[in-house]
Amino acid sequence: MRGLMQGWPLLVHKIIDHAALYHGERQIVSRSIEGPVERTNYRDVRLRALRVAQALDRAGVKAGDRVATLAWNTARHLEAWYGIAGIGAIYHTLNPRLFPDQLAWIANHAEDRVLFFDTTFTRLVEDIAPKIPSIGLYVALTDRAHLPAANLPNLVAYEDLIAACDGDFAWREFPEDTACGLCYTSGTTGNPKGVLYSHRSNVLLSLMAASGGAMGLKASDCILPVVPMFHANAWGLAFAAPMVGAKIVMPGAKLDGASVCELLTNEKVTVTAAVPTVWLMALQYLEQTGRTLPDLKRVLIGGSACPRSMIEAFETKYDVEVVHAWGMTEMSPLGTMSVLKPGMRDLPYEKQLDYKCKQGVPMFGVEAKITDDENRELPRDGKAFGRLKVKGLAVASGYFKGEGAEAFDADGWFDTGDVATLDADGYMTIVDRSKDVIKSGGEWISSIDIENLAVGHPAVAEAAVIGVRHPKWDERPLLIVVLKKGAKAGRDDILQFLSGKIAKWWMPDDVVFVDEIPHTATGKIQKTALRERFGQYRWPQAAE
Ligand code: ADP
């Protein structure tokens, strides 16, 4: 027998309708690309989103068409998202940190029809435009006064585009499984692959993000998504914040420690989210200036493993709770959250930290298991590690245009490419990405664990560990270190610091010092580049 409840479709534009009606005056603050901090509210964002929808409709954009954005987090970018999605078109976030050729490849693969871009990227857009014939309209996210002189066909200032529309327009009607957003994985192996979010998955993602088991969002919160909208849906915050009526603070193009901390303080931000590299900069800034974070209550850290020293610094020095999270583009991206279970808060702080360093417990809506290479499920004992596979309400069922099908099995499990353990309490720990794990004498060494310990050394700003060929052991760990400005430490100091904290056979055989560690477009350590750079590296004789 079927239930007798309404089939209220889960559509993303219902979120902004709700926010405008019930939290209309709630502010959205943006550090604008033009410079000043600007303020708007949910009522105006909705009205302007309707004008975006009307303008795109007039320009002939149809349901299912891809509309690209190459933009920082600002209110305009948010309006564009809702406007695009509200006519059944698909917002396609392009990551400006990719190489121009990769961007052109992705935009061509997606067959984007329109491109909204921040003026920071004008030269980049001019460069790639001739390679993307499908784009017929370029919208610079600015007003006429700031419209750059650019060699682009059909270029219009965003403010002019929407000024020509009165907003007397109704969102289109369509089923909830209609495609809504498109985001490509960074493609560290092979070509990037498109993840196609639906309205339904995005609405459910927002409910997950806002729930108590995740960020526990309320109307009284002020949220700063440092995580860019082009990095997997800004982890759901662009939908979850209006859903609960929270104030949003958009950081624009400035993600350095001083700029982020200024917004955190001036706007009295209570909840924020970003990858560890952003927080490395922010914590260094706080340390140097002696500033504090009086209003901030919670920080979500994910995208790569959060070092123990970072969790400790936030919690003990600044009284900010860290929620360590794991997820991926293919999961919209939320997967697990490391929130303490009842009783764990009574444990000694070091033990609490042990749990917080884990990637966390799957949220409702995510199923997870670990398997061996023959797809046999492994025990949840915190020791056995294997391929991490997931299913869920906001997990991809395949990639755009059918690529990468081998990652999805017949029973609907998606192979994350991560190697992990699951413990009896339900906490998942990422051992490594399967391609980064170091194979030494038939056993595996987690590069992540060593990196996270190494950054706990007071002189170390950032650390990376890669496996380098070894005549006897197949591979051995090489520790690559960036020292903090003005700090001094030698190879032996660092190894001494690690000694006793990890198994003897996990100890790196050598430490090299570099000025900079390369990062991927989503802020992860670029292991492929490091492996290339140290391809000719030879172990000191003693280590052989
Ligand atoms: P990319 O396109 O670079 O793969 P994603 O953000 O989708 O970008 O990356 C997902 C991957 O990032 C995960 O599979 C995992 O390897 C890594 N990751 C994300 N969060 C964490 C975390 N908290 N700890 C360790 N690794 C993480």
Nearest atom of ligand 1 to the alpha carbon of 328: 7
Average per-residue pLDDT in the chain?
95
pLDDT tens-digit readout, 494-541: 999 999 998 899 999 999 999 999 998 888 899 989 999 998 899 987
User: Which of 3.40.50.2300, 3.30.342.10, 3.30.300.30, 3.30.460.10 would CATH assign to domain 438-543?
Assistant: 3.30.300.30
For tokens 């919160």, the residue is 221
For the CA of 192, the closest atom of ligand 1 is 2
- End-to-end alpha-carbon separation of the chain, Å? 70
DSSP-derived pairing of the beta strands 460-470 and 474-483:
antiparallel
pLDDT-based confidence at residue 442 (cuts at 50, 70, 90): confident
Span 133-155, average pLDDT: 97
Q: What is residue 435's predicted lDDT score, i.e. its pLDDT?
A: 86
Q: With H, G, I as helix, E, B as strand and everything else as coil, classify residue 86.
A: coil
- Compute the distance from residue 335 Cα to the ligand 1 centre, in Å: 10
**To 5 degrees, how large is the angle CA 355–CA 359–CA 365?**
115
Residue 61's closest CA among 79, 39, 83, 78? 83
Q: Pocket of ligand 1, candidates 524, 525, 526: which has the most ligand atoms within 8 Å of its Cβ, to mutate?
A: 524
Q: pTM for the full model?
A: 0.92
Residue nearest ligand 1's atom 21 by CA: 304
pLDDT score of 191 more than 90: no
DSSP-derived 3-state class of residue 271: strand
Please give the average per-residue pLDDT across 129-153, as a whole number.
Answer: 97
Residue 40 contacts by C-beta under 8 Å, 6 or more apart in sequence? 27, 28, 30, 75
For 486-511, the DSSP string reads T----HHHHHHHHBTTB-GGGS-SEE
pLDDT score of 78: 98
For domain 367-433, give the fold: Luciferase; domain 3 (2.30.38)
pLDDT-derived band at 194 (thresholds 50, 70, 90) equals very high
Report the pLDDT averaged over residues 138-162: 97
pLDDT of 165 over the 90 cut? yes
Which atom of ligand 1 is least distant from the CA of 335? 20
Task: Give mean pLDDT, residues 170-189.
Answer: 91
CA-to-CA dists, residue 39 to 25, 28, 247, 544, angstroms? 11, 6, 11, 61
| Spacing, Cα 60 to ligand 1 middle (Å) | 37
Q: Tell me the average pLDDT across 68-81.
A: 98
Q: What is the mean pLDDT of residues 11-16?
A: 98
Lowest average pLDDT, out of 14-28, 255-269, 413-427, 510-524, goes to 510-524
Closest CA to 47 of 163, 193, 174, 175: 163
Report the side by side order of strands in the sheet with 27-31: 37-41, 27-31, 247-250, 222-225, 271-274, 298-301, 321-327, 334-338, 361-362
Of 306, 427, 430, best ligand 1 pocket probe by most atoms within 8 Å of the beta carbon: 430
Which atom of ligand 1 is least distant from the CA of 522?
3
Following DSSP, what letter does each residue of 217-244 receive, concatenated? --TT-EEEE-S-TTTGGGGGHHHHHHHH
Per-residue pLDDT at 220: 98
**Site of tokens 């990422």:** 430
> Which residue has its alpha carbon closest to ligand 1 atom 25?
305
Would you state the pLDDT for residue 189?
61
Q: What backbone torsions phi and psi does residue 290 show, to the nearest 5 degrees?
A: 75, 15
Alpha helices in 337-487 (DSSP H): 349-357, 447-454
The whole-number pLDDT of residue 506 equals 93
pLDDT score at 52: 98
Topology of domain 13-28+36-197, per CATH? Rossmann fold (3.40.50)
Residue identifier of the C-alpha nearest atom 11 of ligand 1: 328
Residue boundaries of the structural domains of the chain: 13-28+36-197, 367-433, 438-543
pLDDT score recorded for residue 213:
86
CA of 328 to the centre of ligand 1 (A): 5
- Residue 437 CA to ligand 1 center (angstroms) comes to 14
Q: Is 422 helix (H, G, I), strand (E, B) or coil?
A: strand
Going by the DSSP 8-state scheme, the letter that residue 381 receives in this structure is S
Q: What is the pLDDT of residue 441?
A: 86
- Give the model confidence (pLDDT) of 321-371 as tens digits: 999 999 999 999 999 999 999 999 999 999 999 999 999 999 999 999 999
Query: Does an H or E element contain 537, and which?
Result: none
**What are 359-402's pLDDT values in tens digits?**
999 999 999 999 998 999 999 999 999 999 999 999 999 999 99
The SS3 call for residue 66 is strand
List pLDDT tens digits, range 460-489. Answer: 999 999 999 998 889 999 999 999 989 999
Q: Which residues line ligand 1 (CB under 6 A)?
A: 185-186, 232, 302-306, 324-329, 333, 359, 416-418, 430, 433, 520, 522, 524
| Residue nearest atom 26 of ligand 1, based on CA coordinates | 304
Compute the distance from residue 247 Cα to the ligand 1 centre, in Å.
27
Q: How far apart are CA 327 and CA 336, in angstroms?
A: 7
Closest CA to 138 of 73, 201, 59: 59
Given a cut of 80, is residue 85 above it in pLDDT?
yes
Strand partners, 139: 116, 156
Please name the residues in contact with 289: beta carbons below 8 A apart, sequence gap of 6 or more: none
Give the catalytic positions in this structure: 185, 330, 439, 444
DSSP 274-321: E-HHHHHHHHHHHHHHT---SS--EEEE-SSPPPHHHHHIIIIIS--E
Q: Return the pLDDT at 59.
A: 98
pLDDT of residue 542: 58
Our mutation pick for probing the ligand 1 site, out of 182, 189, 304, 520, counting the most ligand atoms within 8 A of Cβ, is 304
> With 80 as the cut, is the pLDDT of residue 187 above it?
no
